[in-house]
Amino acid sequence: MSEATLQLDTWIRERAALVDEALERLLPADLKAFGGVADMMRYAMFPGGKRFRPVLTIAAAEALGHDPRRVMPAACAFEMVHGFSLVHDDLPCMDDDAERRGKPSCHVRFGEAEALLAGDGLVIEAFRVAAQNASVPGVDPRNALRVVEELAAASGWEGMVGGQMLDIQGMREERVAADRVVAIHRAKTGALIRGSVRAGAILCDATPAQLEALTGYAERLGLVFQITDDLLDWGEEQESVSYPAVYGVEESRRLAQQATDESQRLLASFGVAAEPLRELARYLMRRDR
C-alpha cells in the first residue's frame, strides 16, 4: 500500500466518523415508540459500510473550500437513501439476501412487513434531513430545495429505483446487451454517486462551470466504482448484468482506466483542496476489495 493510499484511508476514515456521529444525532433515538420502527431503521444504518456517498458530498464541499458541517445533513440524507435501498434490495421478492454486513438482514431479523416499513421510514426520513440542510448557517434555502430535488432525481424512477427495475428484468435474462448494462449501472449506482457530489457542490454555491466539472467527475467516478466492483465480483459469480460479462475483463479494465484519467482532467481547474476527490478515483481504480 503506497503512502498516498494510507493518507486517503485516514482522510476517509475521519470523514466517515463525522458521518456516523451526524447520523447518530439525526436518526430517531426513540427506540420503543411506533412498534420499534426507529430501532429497525437504525439497525439498517449501523454499523455502516464505507459511507462512500456522504464522504463524496463532503469531499465536494472541501474542494470548494467549505467545512464538512456545511453539507452534513445532505450527506447523511444520501447515506440514508443508500441504506433504504439495501433494506428493500435484500427482501425476498428482490435479491432475497439473508445477510448484510455480517449480520442478519433487516427482514430476517424483524420480519418482512417490518423491513418493508423500516425501508419506507428511512427514505422518507432522508428527505426530512435533506430539507434541514437549510438550517446550516450560510446555506441558501433555495439551494437546500435544489438538493431535495437532486436527491429525488438521483434515487427515484429515473435514477436508482429505475435502475433497480431494469436490473431485476436484466437478471432474468442470460445475455444482456452492453448498452443496457451501461444504462442499468448508470441509473442504479451512478445516479446516487453523481447526486452526492452535486449536492455538496450546490450547497457550497458552486459556479455553473464548477458544478459541470464536478458532475462530469462524479459520472466518471461512478463508472470506475461500478466497473471495479463488477471485476471484483467476477471471480465469484459471473452475472449477466456486469461489465466483464459484456466487455470482457481486459476491456473493462481499460474503460475504468480511461474514466479515471478523465476524472483527473475534469478537476484540473480545482486546487489542492480537490486532492481527496482526485485520489478517491485513483483509489477505486486500484482497489482489491
Tell me, what DSSP letter sits at residue 68? G
Cell matching residue 220 = 466518471
| Position 31 contacts a copy of itself (CB under 8 A) | no
CB atoms within 10 A of CB 189: 23
Least distance in angstroms from the C-beta of 145 to a copy of itself:
5
Stretch that binds a copy of itself, among 47-55, 66-74, 157-165, 232-240 (CB under 8 A): 157-165
| Position 169 contacts a copy of itself (CB under 8 A) | yes
Q: How many helices, marked H, and strands, marked E, lie in the chain? A: 14, 2
Tell me, what DSSP letter sits at residue 187? I
Candidates 1, 3, 25, 93; binder of a copy of itself (CB under 8 A) is: 93
Closest to a copy of itself by CB, 113 vs 272, is 113
Candidates 14, 17, 35, 265; binder of a copy of itself (CB under 8 A) is: 35
Least distance in angstroms from the C-beta of 91 to a copy of itself:
7
- Per the CB < 8 A criterion, the answer to whether 30 and 38 are in contact is yes
Closest to a copy of itself by CB, 183 vs 273, is 183
Closest to a copy of itself by CB, 59 vs 187, is 187
CB atoms within 10 A of CB 217: 28
Least distance in angstroms from the C-beta of 22 to a copy of itself:
17
| Position 152 contacts a copy of itself (CB under 8 A) | yes
Contacts of 97-102 with CB under 8 Å at 24 or more apart are 101/47, 101/48, 101/49
Candidates 164, 242, 260, 263; binder of a copy of itself (CB under 8 A) is: 164
Strand partners, 103: 100
| Position 189 contacts a copy of itself (CB under 8 A) | no
| Position 182 contacts a copy of itself (CB under 8 A) | no
SS3 labels along 97-132: CCEECCEECHHHHHCHHHHHHHHHHHHHHHHHHHHH
Pairing between β-strand 103-104 and β-strand 99-100 as defined by DSSP bridges? antiparallel
Least distance in angstroms from the C-beta of 96 to a copy of itself:
10
Residue 121: C-alpha distances to residues 22, 41, 101, 205, 206 (Å):
18, 7, 20, 30, 31
- Per the CB < 8 A criterion, the answer to whether 196 and 56 are in contact is yes
Q: How many CA atoms lie within 13 A of 134 on its CB side?
A: 12
Closest to a copy of itself by CB, 121 vs 222, is 121
Q: What is the distance between the alpha carbons of residues 26 and 21, in angstroms, rounded to a whole number?
A: 9
Stretch that binds a copy of itself, among 43-51, 141-149, 193-201, 270-278 (CB under 8 A): 141-149
| Position 28 contacts a copy of itself (CB under 8 A) | yes
Here's the x/- map for a copy of itself, 97-136, by CB under 8 A: it reads as ---------------xxx-xx-xxx-xxx-xx-xxx-x--
| Position 139 contacts a copy of itself (CB under 8 A) | no
Residues of the shown chain interacting with a copy of itself in the complex, contacts defined by CB under 8 A: 28, 30, 33-38, 41, 84, 88, 91-94, 112-114, 116-117, 119-121, 123-125, 127-128, 130-132, 134, 141-142, 144-145, 148-149, 151-153, 155-158, 161-166, 168-169, 187
